[in-house]
Structure 1
Amino acid sequence: MPVPIRQLPETLINQIAAGEVVERPASVVKELVENALDAGAQRVDIDLEEGGIGLIRIRDDGGGIAPEELALALSRHATSKIASLDDLEAVATLGFRGEALPSIASVSRLSLSSRRAHDAHGATLQVDGGRLGQVGPCQHGQGTTVEVRELFYNVPARRKFLRAERTELGHIEEWLRSLALARPDVELRVSHNGRASRRYKGGSQAEPALRLHETLGQDFASQALRVEHSAAGLRLHGWIAQPAYSRASADQQYLYVNGRPVRDRNIAHAVRLAYQDVLHHGRQPAYVLFLELDPARVDVNVHPAKHEVRFRESRMIHDFVHRTLHEALAATRAGVAGGVEQAPVQAMPFAQAAYGVPAAAAMPQPLQWTGARQSPLGLRVADAPSAYAALYNSPSPRTAEPAPVSPMPANDGQGGTPPLGYALAQLHGIYILAENAQGLIVVDMHAAHERIGYERLKTAHDGIGLTAQPLLVPMTLAVAEREADVAEREAATLTELGFDLTRSGPQTLIVRSVPALLAHAEPGALLRDVLADLREHGQSRRVAAARDQLLSTMACHGAVRANRRLTLPEMNALLRDMEITERSGQCNHGRPTWAHFGLAEIDKWFRRGR
């Protein structure tokens, strides 16, 4: 027998909405604190009990709510933040849907108290499982307090899915950490079970760099590179960790779009692509990035909890983020220290990168590496430059004192010692020991030479381009219809990548040529991966990545091996090359190529000055 259609009760509607908005206590904290920030709060107190399951109390010093609007604030789709479609398309506030408060109130025992600056006293309203009480007077300072008790008490099926107290508290602390990174101007005070647990100072005391130390720790801050770049109405700023500071998981990846913390697959892919040449074995980059653009160019109304956004020009955003971070990482040459106190990494101007001007065009040419034989890489191995030959009184690798000479071409920017200093000796045939103005430099010579050779091979191959090699017998490749559509639409892009193909049917491609350098690889699998990238991201680096992997292997085989004795001029030639080679701070496998020990640190080893 058919069931009649009927209107759902308001309380049930709110409980259904709560299933989308209120996942766990951390969701409640997020919604309520965002409301406080939208109200102009400069200080927010968060009191928790039982990991937020027993109690969540959010107190702010914002603008407050009028007594006659308290009940309205707890009704569905009631908000002061938008009034028209134009407002929605350019919304800049964290909240705007008007669903959070009624949804939370429908699955808890909630009280809402508030006072505006000019009101004689505050007003309060109690709600029990969605049933509103009467508005009454109360003593209250300027701002608003929302108290949520016994979350999911009337929805036992939802409550059973909550985790242990410590786990739920951990989710709240992680979200507050994310908020603290985005809003260093706001003071956040957190207590749990009656004990103060965290305080993030706000106002003038909270410099962004200080928040980085407070939230992610000294290790991240010491390895962070500052990024600041604007172009085409877009601005990307924040910090990215150097490749040596990589993670086993994506637990330190924070992205904000116009101040809103979000998850975005398109931008995450662009970041991974930028790190592709310096991270291996499944390691994850760490970053705190803020993307700013005209609110009309991004749709924030695509997720009930506002975790995701949709860009109107996603391909352009992807390219902007990728190129900015790619060039920032390329500047991580050996001898350039990281840390939040360093100057911002200057990426190549976006327009210059977009039109194919190579980043190395303005770089000095690397000095020839010294030796007596031809390298397996095909690199020219010449005699040491005369400047190196005059460096020391004796050519012995054990010599430690340099003779007085003219300054070297590469220096610290102040006419003094080069960033990686001058070589002193070779340790166990593996490491180069050098002295610079600040202390001791230790270089892994194989890893360093491997990166130098790899970057030179890439530069040389980039000058030639991706040439195509015709197949003796054209290959018929069966693909999905949407992949064939992409192949037809992106024919010009595929030609640039070295593929010559035509569509011969709804699900069939005829491949006549493939990239010459990868002719011995499996072209069908490679082409399918390329088509998948083009469909999802509008571009693909699969061919370049496969090429780079091959060149990396060649560079590894051609790099100097352990136990090879180097002369001091050879060591110094390697140090100078490291200083002018992109990404020379790490080898092709993501390991660091050098380490620095300052004099103060060395003094501690021997307890000098104590």
Structure 2
Amino acid sequence: MIESAIPRIELLPDDIAARIAAGEVIERPASVIKELIDNSIDAEATRIDILIDEGGISRIRVRDNGHGIPSDQISSAFIRHATSKLKTIDDLYSVRTLGFRGEALASIVAAGDVKFVTKTESDLNASFLQFTSGIQGKISPYAAATGTSVEVSDLFAMLPARRKFIGKPLSEKRAVVRLVEEYIIGYPSIRFVLTDGNKELLKSSGNGILQEAVATVHGTKVAETLIPFEYDALGSKIKIRGLVGPPSLHRSNRNFMHLFVQNRAIKSRRLNVAIEQSYSGLIPRNRHPVSILLIQMPDEDVDVNAHPRKESVRFLDDNMVFKAVRNAVSNGLIDKKNSVIKRDDFFGEFDTAKSTRQKILLSAKSSLIKNRDDKGISELSAVDVDNLKDDHQFNTNFPFEFTQAVPILKPIGQFALTYIIAEGPEGLYLIDQHAAHERVQYEKILKSRNQSRGDVTQALLQTIVLEMSASELSFVEQIIDELHKVGWILGKTDGNAILLQGIPVILSSDALRKNRSLDAGLLFQEYISSFESEEGQSNPDLVSATLACRAAVMAGDVLNNEQQRVVIESLEKTSSPQTCPHGRPTILHCQQSEIEKAFLRR
């Protein structure tokens, strides 16, 4: 009886197995488009047209002018693991095509209804094949030019459990735009056109000029400032070329950092760090450079089959590639031919203050170590022995954690133009002026969200036309209702631009910022850039939190004693004074008793 209750192990039916496999390859409309564009590029297309409706949920069409598929091979193309790109196991480690697993078309057919048209140069007619609910129709003659067209409709209609996890049309459109932008930069010799319904979102020239491709994606102003470079790592066979921005060009997120290995767009946090290390000391903290790197190396040194969606690769020698990338960018920045100022000339006020802070801490650290070394070993207590982990370990075991209500505090001054030093019950308090004011502004914004537009908006005397990239515009469209609630007044245009007609009143009326000059257009663009870098928080809090960040005093702002007091008193009145909206601490407490112990008064 017990044995009969155990489920039997059985082979899944073909249709169920196909739909499970489709879910691994096809996550969303952008996944379909990625697979189809890869096939178009492998077919040596010089023009690729992408059409989407409702972000690709209701319809996708990718059409190219590549070499097409011979009519006698069309049915085989839709069989799982059927491919023209691999013959032996060794081919897997030297593959140069973007597609190679033979999964794409079979997975797409399992995920939606498909209309397929293809023609080779030698065919008299094109061939048409349709799949409905995964069932293949008959191949029939058709009138079309050389190339291939794949149209997918009702994505995941046969997989309702998966379809409910697809984002809203605006969110999916944005994902598609970002995907196509990567291809435009990675393949400047191919003409890409992306259309949403009747609106053209992206159009590249396909003239092979990388800088013009970047201009299509990020705008002419960005592209014109980029520095071209080439780097050949001696002995490692790694060749890197591309474009890097000068240190004056930086962003609050990594959306302007593009990496390509063997002509594949990849994501690599490690290589992003290598690039950012090249800018160390040149750009402010928590800012990111603009860069396009095209990396080539021997096929045997890189595994392109390391990720289910081919978004990352595996290197035979990670450290060698890391160093090559860092050196390539550094050399590009200091190359005299590019007239780039030397690294030391870029230290601004922020970095100077940071350097001064480090010198002060190192001085205090060496003083304490010296005093400790002057004590005989026999005089060291058990606590001293535990703390002597190495000769350069600095004792920072003060109980800084602060989880209580903010007491009445008296400001004493500023430290490093970033922290307010205050005196209060039981010791000293260190307040991060930006984080504290950000919390104050955040709660003000939350309270005003449901007020009338006149209460939260400062109308502009003149409408500002802001040119935006396609992905930025898609992002703004996605959150425009939430932006209106906090005071941004925006209008749409027919092109890739938006009309800025009003700004949140909190940006212009705050007492601590009233003397600061205001560039409304630049402020909105920085706001959107900051917003994108913080994705992961849920709306609508992210809209309010990002606005609070832009409306708060910044690190480096000089605050007089009265302004310091205003920040502290305002923080006392908030509901969650211990952290800013992003979760960073606003205040640290150094107890008087611990200070006295450190000075050996106890």
Give me the TM-score of the superposition, normalised by structure 2: 0.57
Q: Would the aligned equivalents of 2:185 and 2:213 in 1 still touch at CA under 8 Å? A: yes
Change (3 A) 1:221 1:262: same
Change (3 A) 1:300 1:343: same
- Tell me the SS of whatever aligns to 1:97: coil
Aligned to 2:160: 156
How far has the Cα of 1:509 moved from its partner? 12
Q: Deviations over 1:24-52 (max 9, x none)?
A: 11111111011000011011111222221
The 2-side partners of 1:95 and 1:509 are apart by: 56
Change (3 A) 1:201 1:330: closer
Change (3 A) 1:163 1:453: closer
Q: Deviations over 1:374-398 (max 9, x none)?
A: xxxxxxxxxxxxxxxxxxxxxxxxx
After TM superposition, the structure 1 = structure 2 runs for residues 87-486 of structure 1, keeping only pairs within 5 Å, are 87-202=91-206, 205-231=207-233, 232-330=236-334, 343=338, 447=348, 472=373
The 2-side partners of 1:288 and 1:9 are apart by: 46
- Tell me the SS of whatever aligns to 1:266: helix
Change (3 A) 1:191 1:87: same
Q: Would the aligned equivalents of 1:61 and 1:142 in 2 still touch at CA under 8 Å? A: yes
The 2-side partners of 1:88 and 1:156 are apart by: 35
Question: Share of identical aligned residues, percent?
Answer: 29
Q: Would the aligned equivalents of 2:28 and 2:166 in 1 still touch at CA under 8 Å? A: yes
Q: Would the aligned equivalents of 1:227 and 1:345 in 2 still touch at CA under 8 Å? A: no
Aligned length: 384
How far has the Cα of 1:237 moved from its partner? 1.4
Change (3 A) 1:471 1:289: farther
The 1-side partners of 2:256 and 2:110 are apart by: 34
**Is 1:22 matched with 2:26?**
yes
Aligned to 1:513: 391
Q: Deviations over 1:488-542 (max 9, x none)?
A: xxxxxxxxxxxxxxxxxxxx9984433xxxx64659xxxxxxxxxxxxxxxxxxx
- Tell me the SS of whatever aligns to 1:75: coil
Identify the range of structure 1 (238-247 vs 167-176) with the bigger mean alpha-carbon deviation.
Answer: 238-247
Q: Would the aligned equivalents of 2:52 and 2:195 in 1 still touch at CA under 8 Å? A: yes
How far has the Cα of 1:106 moved from its partner? 0.3
How far has the Cα of 1:11 moved from its partner? 2.1
**Is 1:79 matched with 2:83?**
yes
Q: Deviations over 1:155-207 (max 9, x none)?
A: 112212222222211111111111001111111122221343332111xx342
- Greater percentage in helix: 2
How far has the Cα of 1:219 moved from its partner? 3.1
The two structures, once aligned, show a CA RMSD in angstroms of 4.0
The 2-side partners of 1:471 and 1:76 are apart by: 70
How far has the Cα of 1:57 moved from its partner? 1.0
Change (3 A) 1:471 1:217: farther
Change (3 A) 1:176 1:330: same
Q: Deviations over 1:334-392 (max 9, x none)?
A: xx8xxxxx849799xxxxxxxxxxx99xxxxx9xxxxxxxxxxxxxxxxxxxxxxxxxx
Matched to 2:91, the amino acid is D
Change (3 A) 1:344 1:34: farther
The 2-side partners of 1:83 and 1:137 are apart by: 30
Q: Deviations over 1:536-589 (max 9, x none)?
A: xxxxxxxxxxxxxx9xxxxxxxxxxxxxxxxxxxxxxxxxxxxxxxxxxxxxx9
How far has the Cα of 1:470 moved from its partner? 12
The 1-side partners of 2:371 and 2:189 are apart by: 61
Matched to 1:217, the amino acid is G
Q: Deviations over 1:277-331 (max 9, x none)?
A: 2233422222111111112110011111100110000011111112332344456
Q: Would the aligned equivalents of 1:233 and 1:294 in 2 still touch at CA under 8 Å? A: yes
The 2-side partners of 1:2 and 1:142 are apart by: 56
Change (3 A) 1:469 1:291: farther
How far has the Cα of 1:146 moved from its partner? 0.7
**Is 1:6 matched with 2:3?**
no
Q: Would the aligned equivalents of 2:46 and 2:66 in 1 still touch at CA under 8 Å? A: yes
Change (3 A) 1:470 1:153: farther
Change (3 A) 1:509 1:63: farther
Q: Would the aligned equivalents of 2:24 and 2:308 in 1 still touch at CA under 8 Å? A: yes
Aligned to 2:411: none
Q: Would the aligned equivalents of 2:40 and 2:64 in 1 still touch at CA under 8 Å? A: yes
- Tell me the SS of whatever aligns to 1:37: helix
The 2-side partners of 1:590 and 1:236 are apart by: 37
Change (3 A) 1:319 1:206: closer
Q: Which runs of 5+ in 1 are unaligned?
A: 337-341, 348-358, 361-365, 367-443, 462-467, 477-507, 524-549, 551-588, 592-610
The 2-side partners of 1:469 and 1:94 are apart by: 60
The 2-side partners of 1:156 and 1:17 are apart by: 15
Aligned to 1:605: none
Q: Would the aligned equivalents of 1:89 and 1:295 in 2 still touch at CA under 8 Å? A: yes
In the alignment, which of 41, 46, 49 is matched to residue 53 of structure 2? 49
The 1-side partners of 2:280 and 2:555 are apart by: 10
Q: Would the aligned equivalents of 1:244 and 1:590 in 2 still touch at CA under 8 Å? A: no
The 1-side partners of 2:350 and 2:50 are apart by: 53
In the alignment, which of 28, 32, 36 is matched to residue 36 of structure 2? 32
Change (3 A) 1:5 1:254: same
Q: Deviations over 1:379-421 (max 9, x none)?
A: xxxxxxxxxxxxxxxxxxxxxxxxxxxxxxxxxxxxxxxxxxx
The 1-side partners of 2:73 and 2:329 are apart by: 47
Matched to 1:104, the amino acid is I
Q: Would the aligned equivalents of 1:243 and 1:590 in 2 still touch at CA under 8 Å? A: no
How far has the Cα of 1:83 moved from its partner? 1.0
Matched to 2:253, the amino acid is S
Q: Would the aligned equivalents of 1:126 and 1:133 in 2 still touch at CA under 8 Å? A: yes
Change (3 A) 1:453 1:281: closer
Matched to 2:74, the amino acid is L
Change (3 A) 1:590 1:93: farther
After TM superposition, the structure 1 = structure 2 runs for residues 479-558 of structure 1, keeping only pairs within 5 Å, are 511-514=389-392, 520=394
Give me the TM-score of the superposition, normalised by structure 1: 0.57
- Tell me the SS of whatever aligns to 1:106: helix
Matched to 2:281, the amino acid is D
The 2-side partners of 1:129 and 1:196 are apart by: 30
The 1-side partners of 2:316 and 2:68 are apart by: 35
- Tell me the SS of whatever aligns to 2:391: strand
The 1-side partners of 2:144 and 2:388 are apart by: 75
Q: Would the aligned equivalents of 1:228 and 1:346 in 2 still touch at CA under 8 Å? A: no
Q: Which runs of 5+ in 2 are unaligned?
A: 363-368, 398-415, 417-553, 557-602
